[in-house]
Amino acid sequence: MPLGIIRAVPKDDAVPPADYEQPSVVWAVEYTDERQPGQRFQAGAFTTEAEARKLVRQLEKIGAYGELLINLIPVHQTVQDWEWDR
């Protein structure tokens, strides 16, 4: 089944639906492993960027990980909230 086209909502004058909930944010620490090229793995996820950065510094000291990065992930309650955020 082909995917449909998601229409962008003009935000200038648009008002969110009454039941819209702002997404939560998660900072996920991810890393690469040279034994599995092209894949990323999650070391942990946090509710603050500061904690995610602490883990990155800790893992850098260990040195057993490939590239380390922080992936900012918005977490929506509903698909309708996600659609409105596009």
Distance in angstroms (rounded) separating the CA atoms of residues 56 and 62: 10
What pTM was estimated for this model as a whole? 0.72
pLDDT at 4: 47
Q: Which residue type, as a one-letter code, is found at position 15? A: V
Tens-binned pLDDT, residue by residue, of the chain (86 aa): 455 444 454 555 678 888 899 999 999 999 988 888 888 999 999 999 999 999 999 999 998 788 999 999 999 999 999 988 88
Backbone angles phi, psi at 59, to 5 degrees: -70, -35
From residue 80, alpha-carbon distances to 19, 20, 61, 65 in Å are 9, 8, 42, 37
